[in-house]
Structure 1
């Protein structure tokens, strides 16, 4: 029983909260507000549950299956919201310029000596912290920048590219740090899944208008209300990345030494030397092997274990 609870509180909990729960909520809205106004095909009558209990079971199974599907599609769903996928070149460039201008305005307001309110300064600092350090890393969306800031954290500070070495890092980092990352990401996943589900249900409500068998007002109000909530869930997803960013920062800071040990390397005392070492590790993972790597890694290689005498 303890193993089951541990599994639920681990990766299964993130899946449940991040994808299955919001899918169930959207499915419930569709069932209560949209489905009653749709005239289903006659062929589907045989699949309609006959009692309230079986109806609830069908909804539960549907929520789990759809949640698993959405979870499998999370990468393209995120990439669109981050501005990487399905964005025309002109829209991408315009979005980047707009985000850069927004970031500079925030920095200028924070640097204004006339701003004396501690609360306002804290809010502006929080807003500014949701951008990457480098202008070249800015993306065309707020969510993309909020995520990109911690994707580049390891490389900016230590030249440890977490995008390349993520699996290695999470394999050796302390378990609480890895669990914090999954739990924090689940909060963002929840709002992303809720957002996409609202759009899907709203489109379904509007698409049902021509074949509605009841008052169309409910369908119109449902679709309009869900679309009105989409910006709110997007802002909530952006704000929820703060905890995700803190968890990834912790993972990088305390996971570097275990990662170096696992790779057979010794963490240098000098930060400059450490940055050079992680840059070599990243290149070694990204590029074909070159004989020059032998000499480059020599200063960082740990001594092999000495054979124990009998």
Structure 2
């Protein structure tokens, strides 16, 4: 029994150790080491290292590994800031650039809408036209409905559109309702959302490390190529991860919004045309703690349709 337990614990420790090594931080520092060695020569480095006492060599290796892990923790602290920057939440001093790129996003959306309307106005569609219509519909789904809600970056528009869809369909403001709905979700739904969010955060960290990798260009020209490609790759992968994350948030409201009404002892609307008004009332209650004066809470077992206000 004890041997089996130790074997299992050792396996978990080994997995965690390997996982720690296979990080962007290790790649960053390894790339820096290669760049410095290329600049100053491998032989001079090995000669200096081998002349050091074994305890000092071991201490240097532990210090390098510890520094890599510590730097990974520091970068992780900035991942949310990087993600918000990629979304387009920029400092007011950059409002001129923000307005310019927002107009570009509005123009891109407008072109897609014109193509989509052109296909809709055709009496008959070929197979290729139908495929193009589906593609355009998916692309338009990555933009907010109203131009006033547009963000200056594709990533920002994908996440903004996901936030607004629950408001457009159900009257539920995702910014206000999501923390409450999250607590009510089943574990399987939470696991999928956590995995999608973890991938999005990982791409934000990779984007940071990619820009930091430009530092090694002082000693090796190829660092420019690696850093540029890595930053491009991280951003486009973040877009794909944001689409998945946004779809899961929308699906959570589609499937589990009734749990909010039940937990708050509010009646779930019976008819679809009543739901936006009921959702706005629920959002107002969560945000302000206010309900109509004549409103009375109901027992969970007595949930009934919303009465027209």
- TM-superposed deviation, 1:71: 2.9
1:234 paired with 2:241, answer no
Mapped contact 2:105–2:152 kept (Cα < 8 A): yes
CA distance in 1, matches of 2:167, 2:60: 52
SS in 2 for 1:226: helix
Unaligned regions of 5+ residues in structure 1, if any?
Answer: 210-215
Seen in structure 2, the aligned counterparts of structure 1 residues 238 and 174 have a Cα distance that, compared at 3 Å, is same
CA distance in 1, matches of 2:40, 2:169: 56
Mapped contact 1:22–1:190 kept (Cα < 8 A): no
For residues 109-258 of structure 1, the aligned pairs below 5 Å read 109-113=115-119, 116=126, 117=128, 118-202=130-214, 204-206=215-217, 209=218, 216=219, 219-258=220-259
SS in 1 for 2:267: coil
Mapped contact 1:173–1:259 kept (Cα < 8 A): no
Seen in structure 2, the aligned counterparts of structure 1 residues 108 and 27 have a Cα distance that, compared at 3 Å, is farther
- With structure 1 as the length reference, what TM-score do the two structures score? 0.74
Determine the structure 2 residue equivalent to 1:295: 293
CA distance in 2, matches of 1:34, 1:250: 49
Determine the structure 2 residue equivalent to 1:81: 86
CA distance in 2, matches of 1:193, 1:221: 21
Mapped contact 2:262–2:300 kept (Cα < 8 A): no
Task: Pick the structure with greater CA Rg.
Answer: 2
Mapped contact 2:266–2:298 kept (Cα < 8 A): yes
1:270-289 superposed Cα distances (whole Å, 9 cap, x missing partner): 233332222122223333x5
- TM-superposed deviation, 1:91: 1.2
- TM-superposed deviation, 1:127: 2.4
SS in 1 for 2:57: coil
Task: Give aligned pairs, total.
Answer: 271
Mapped contact 2:83–2:201 kept (Cα < 8 A): no
Seen in structure 2, the aligned counterparts of structure 1 residues 279 and 230 have a Cα distance that, compared at 3 Å, is same
CA distance in 2, matches of 1:244, 1:304: 31
Q: Which moved more, 1:91-100 or 1:29-38?
A: 29-38
Structure having greater relative contact order (Cα 8 Å, sep ≥ 6): 1
- With structure 2 as the length reference, what TM-score do the two structures score? 0.74
